[in-house]
Structure 1
């Protein structure tokens, strides 16, 4: 029969979960999450992703004079000549510790590197626990945060944003599943879907289930497990039909395990789009330069190369925006 589904206190990374973690455990938990997603070291890491500290395939960018000119006159970087960026190594492919257990690698570090290149600056990455970035940013420990931070109306009261990826969740199933695609509520009617308790995905799927019932369809059966391993086991043993998590995490797991596949994506802001953004101090003026830099990377193709390198092309934006509409306050 296996273990019964439970509603667990999930670990927080990015905009997925909403829990409180005691400060003394933050660094340890981040390392544990990264290790679990990697598969306990380089031996089990996916061959599709280079997690070496050297990163020979890192995409570099050219200087962007327009972006440099957009930096406010008198703006002071934390360290002169350096772009200091906070990143939470919560798991591949977004950001994780490399096989040397100390170098942070992934899509977000690569993107930070490209932005630094465009601004003619060196890059300094500061590994942080994800829930610590707001205090560190407001206190001036770093110039920006590039760590899967979603734009929300509440955050816009204290921070400025320059968007650089779509905020997507993924619908993934067993490779031999008969579920072909999930694009709207009716596609999920009657399915057994694994989701994290208290997450934005759960909130959206509860709305989907209500819509299905109102349309005369079967409700969605949401299932909750205490960790990723239990969730994936439930999927493989046919106790569940679908797993929903942040898209990037499942892209990595699919490449590593070769036994799940994507059948759809879901915007974190459904029914609207919700984007991930470079985060800076409110009113610092740096956001305009970072938006210009991002659009330069989009226009010259560097942006697409970075996302493709980390298998995240589905999360591409057509253009970067400064402080666009974000998730509303709930």
Structure 2
């Protein structure tokens, strides 16, 4: 996985991480989670945001089977009536992407919920299979899982083994104090004179340090700060010791929702492609290369985009700024030199 993906869970507060970890086994994978393809809903509908412990408001969406899309699926996928969804969310999960719900059974989050919506378009029951990040790909390779929905970035290196149907922008984000009077405008120049926190050893650190060097060459200053944990980052932000935190956008979006009703409320100050200025990074449903699944997966996602369920999913999980207009099959990914 890219270093960008490995840091997603770090933005959750210590209490949240402990709560999630308590409910998730540290073993290689776990089949005990509630299927929740409909999560108690009638056939043709899917519950979104189930058991999310306040991270999302639970809603039920109507999702009819689309026979023309189902007909494109290999027989091996339809014969058991299930779509096995690969998740790489063990051991601690990563809100809002995927984590164990407050019922200690349901794997909830934007990723498994999209998998459930796609399964409904196929007329199949969703069967989430949670694993560690490494075993997520082992599951796809072995056929144990048919499609991975787990914040997987489209890269040219991964295309050697997998095919993609992309559904969300792979963005980094800036978290600001709610009352901050500035925003990141998409260029490094808007960071002149600012102090920005970033996690060490991450893709976002690499980008931020490059911006710092460019500003320095122009006679301007960008201070980069490091902290031991995310609680320290947010304390520094709220006490005005830093102007922004630069990190994975989904985790920032989650923290914004959790702080909204507190005196320490924050907001988004803008996003930036995790792939850099020249390419919009993309998160994709991932299947084994040659499986024939990428096209029907993309068509199912496009059906959800066209009929509104996709927008409601992202709104529920506060990820509207990562929406794509259409799902593409195997679009250009991060080059091998940057994968």
Q: Aligning the two structures, in what range does the TM-score lie when normalised by the shorter sequence?
A: 0.7 to 0.9
Alpha-carbon displacement from aligned partner over 1:292-314 (angstroms, at most 9, x marks no partner): 11111111111111111111111
- Listed as ranges, the matches of 1:122-133 within 5 Å are 122-133=125-136
User: 1:58 and 1:13 mapped to 2: Cα distance?
Assistant: 34
Distance 1:153 1:93, change over 3 A: same
Partner of 1:146: 149
| 1:56 CA drift (Å) | 4.7
- Correspondence for 2:293 among 263, 286, 289: 286
Which moves more between the two structures, 225-234 or 315-324? 225-234
Under a length normalisation based on structure 1, what TM-score does the superposition of the two structures give?
0.82
Contact 1:163 1:277 in 2 (8 A): yes
Distance 1:56 1:188, change over 3 A: closer
Partner of 1:310: 317
Partner of 2:269: 263
User: 1:283 and 1:160 mapped to 2: Cα distance?
Assistant: 7
Moved over 4 A (4+): 32-35, 39-42, 53-56
Partner of 1:7: none
Partner of 1:17: 6
Give the CA RMSD over aligned residues. 2.8
- The alignment partner of 1:254 has SS state of helix
| 1:186 CA drift (Å) | 0.1
Distance 1:312 1:194, change over 3 A: same
Distance 1:34 1:263, change over 3 A: closer
Alpha-carbon displacement from aligned partner over 1:125-164 (angstroms, at most 9, x marks no partner): 1111223211221122100110111101111111111001
- Listed as ranges, the matches of 1:98-113 within 5 Å are 98-113=101-116
> Is 1:81 aligned to 2:81, yes or no?
yes
Partner of 1:3: none
Structure 2 residue runs of 5 or longer lacking an equivalent are 21-47
Alignment coverage as a number of residue pairs: 299
> Is 1:324 aligned to 2:331, yes or no?
yes
Contact 1:83 1:143 in 2 (8 A): yes
Distance 1:34 1:136, change over 3 A: farther
- The alignment partner of 1:76 has SS state of helix
Structure 1 residue runs of 5 or longer lacking an equivalent are 1-11, 19-29, 43-48
Contact 1:167 1:315 in 2 (8 A): yes
| 1:14 CA drift (Å) | 8.2
Under a length normalisation based on structure 2, what TM-score does the superposition of the two structures give?
0.80
Distance 1:33 1:200, change over 3 A: closer
- The alignment partner of 2:6 has SS state of coil
Contact 2:168 2:284 in 1 (8 A): yes
> Is 1:163 aligned to 2:163, yes or no?
no
Contact 1:144 1:280 in 2 (8 A): yes
Contact 1:38 1:91 in 2 (8 A): no
